[in-house]
Amino acid sequence: MADPDCIFCKILAGELPATIVDEDERTIAFMDIAPATRGHALVVPRVHTVDLLSVEPEDLRAVADAARRLAGRAKDRLSADGVNLLNSCGSAAWQTVFHFHIHVIPRYDGDPLRLPWVPSPGDQADIAAAAQELAGR
Ligand code: AMP
Ligand code: ZN
């Protein structure tokens, strides 16, 4: 169930400190130690699993529900103007802790966060080719 080398498993086991803000049968949520904005929290399943592609569907649903709960609280209690949910799956996608988690990042009008890409029109043929590979089962 737990990975002895995983910092989030250590938090779950009470072996590392964390500021817990939400818990249920399948999940806990705690404050990120390096917050992107005020109120940045992480929601994790209690059962160790590496990433989005390996998490059990029931745990994924529970983590999503908890993330939505916290997003609502960020708006109601921290007066956030918006919220980003972020999951990084794989080191190419910036994942640094390999215990599945969703970041709940409250957003405030005028905060310094920016999209990490510059939106610009893509190559239509390549969009269509990628779509063909992605579509269907
Ligand atoms: P990611 O890069 O998406 O895997 O996210 C990992 C997150 O975990 C980062 O935002 C870190 O700041 C955060 N983090 C790492 N260690 C701890 C810790 N001990 N307590 C709380 N957050 C942590
Ligand atoms: Zn873990």
101 catalytically annotated: yes
Given a cut of 80, whether residue 1 has pLDDT beyond it is: no
Structure tokens at 115: 């999209």
Q: Is the pTM of this model over 0.95?
A: yes
pLDDT at residue 32 in the model: 98
Query: Is the confidence at residue 137, as pLDDT, over 90?
Result: no
Q: Kindly state the percentage of the chain with pLDDT values over 90.
A: 98
pLDDT of res. 2:
87
CA atoms within 13 A on the CB side of 4: 0
What pLDDT is recorded for position 130?
98
Atom of ligand 1 nearest to the CA of 87: 3
d(CA 79, CA 92): 33
Helices (H), the chain: 7-12, 57-77, 124-134
**CA nearest ligand 1 atom 22, residue:** 32
Q: Which residues line ligand 1 (CB under 6 A)?
A: 7, 16, 18, 30, 32-34, 42, 88, 94-97
The preferred substitution site among 33, 48, 63 for testing ligand 1, maximizing ligand atoms within 8 Å of CB, is: 33
Q: Helix (H, G, I), strand (E, B), or coil: what is residue 106?
A: strand
Q: Is the pLDDT of residue 7 over 80?
A: yes
Average pLDDT over every residue of 42-46 = 98
pLDDT tens-place string over residues 50-93: 999 999 999 999 999 999 999 999 999 999 999 999 999 999 99
User: Taking all residues of the chain, what is their mean pLDDT, rounded to a whole number?
Assistant: 97
